[in-house]
Structure 1
Amino acid sequence: MTQNPATDNPNAEPAVEEATAQSPEDIIQANFARIEAERDDLKDKLLRTLADMENLRRRTEREIADAKAYAVTSFARDMLGAADNLRRALESLPETARTTEEPALKGLIEGVDLTERDLLKTLERHGVRKIDPLGEKFDPNLHQAMFEAPDAEIAKGLVSKVVQSGYKIGERVLRPALVGVSAGAPKPQAAEGGDSTPTTH
């Protein structure tokens, strides 16, 4: 009688043939996973593209706004000389000339004053504002110090004199104001003849 090793030996493992072909369910799951990965990749690329487009839109809007706001920068800077000359003409007038009743002189002064005010209003309509910092704290971003001098009426570090007005266009400085800065109250001079404190013997 012939013996069967597989049945005679209970510890023997049955021969198992490895399956080389995937089942339909495995194929479907693999395809589904691949499609999901492609979908996620396309979604990520789409979100990045949308973010880039939004950044480009905002940057373009800023550039357009800046172009509108600062398009007149060169022209405005050239006009500051005319504004300065009108101001100098008015400041050079003696007080008696301002109170004169002479029609020709009075009309000339009023005309120069009106022209200066009209010029400044025109500049303001285009975003150019005058900087007149008298009494304000010195700011190196807006002002250029020409000198520092003692001033009993103005605290140290404040603008005590405006030599030339400055101008801003939008948030940019078109021309800094030329100013004098207060060094505070002058120091009391020491009494002549040395120390006057009485001494005891």
Structure 2
Amino acid sequence: MPDTTVRAPGAATDQNDQDADQAASESSTNSLADQRSADAKEDPMVALAREAADYRDKLLRSLAEMENLRRRTERQVADARDYGIASFARDILAVADNMQRALGALDAELREKADPGTKALLDGVELTERELLKVLEKHGVKKFEPLDEKFDPNLHQAMLEISDASRPAGTVAQVIQPGYMIGERVLRPALVAVAKGGPRASMETPANDNAGIPPQEP
């Protein structure tokens, strides 16, 4: 007899979905079985070699990272040791400049004519300046005065140009304010005046020894 059972409208669709899910599950199970079968067939020595290579690569990467970290830390420690006082030293330079200006306010002749009290005061200022520079140098801060040196924009700051025939053009003819180095870095550039150099020698026509003598006939 023919099947006269009446099904709900969505019954056929549900049955199809169930069949599709069952097929997908069976396919996944078969794939896992195939993978396990392939793994089981792989040579154990090959698997161990691959695993050892992976561990070796990870170890080398870790060692390289540790070495980079060590070098970076050493560099940071060295910079902190050498340049940690840069801001403080830069502020102290103003004190050294004022002492130098005080000593330069009186020339040697006036100092000789000064009374004993003034001489003692100037000697004390001079001694204090020397001690200050010694302490700065102890901590890596060194003073430099580049007189007669070639102008270097990395170390010097040109304030003006002056004509000076005794010096080649581009050399430091006057140090307006000394510079300071801290380690290998410039703490403060020196303020200088740069020489333009003397006038170039004019080209003169050499004298003719035969001038005034008429040419002889051949």
- TM-score grouping bracket, smaller chain normalisation: 0.7 to 0.9
% identical equivalent positions: 55
Structure 2 match to 1:186: 199
Structure 2 match to 1:122: 135
Structure 1 stretches of 4+ with a deviation exceeding 3 A read 186-189
Structure 1 match to 2:99: 86
Whole-angstrom CA distance in 2 between matches of 1:102 and 1:167: 34
2:187 is equivalent to residue 174 of structure 1? yes
2:80 is equivalent to residue 63 of structure 1? no
Structure 2 match to 1:108: 121
Alpha carbon RMSD of aligned pairs, Å?
A: 2.1
Does the Cα contact within 8 Å between 1:133 and 1:162 map onto a contact in 2? yes
State the Cα distance separating 1:136 from its structure 2 match: 0.8
State the Cα deviation string for residues 8-50 of structure 1 (Å, max 9, x = none).
xxxxxxxxxxxxxxxxxx95x7110111011011111101110
Structure 1 match to 2:171: 158
Whole-angstrom CA distance in 1 between matches of 2:107 and 2:114: 14
* Bigger share in helix: 2
Aligned length: 165
Whole-angstrom CA distance in 1 between matches of 2:140 and 2:165: 37
State the Cα distance separating 1:94 from its structure 2 match: 2.5
TM-score under structure 1 length normalisation = 0.76
1:30 to 1:99, Cα distance in 2 relative to 1, 3 A: same
State the Cα distance separating 1:99 from its structure 2 match: 2.5
1:127 to 1:148, Cα distance in 2 relative to 1, 3 A: same
Higher mean C-alpha displacement, 148-157 vs 58-67: 148-157
Structure 1 match to 2:157: 144
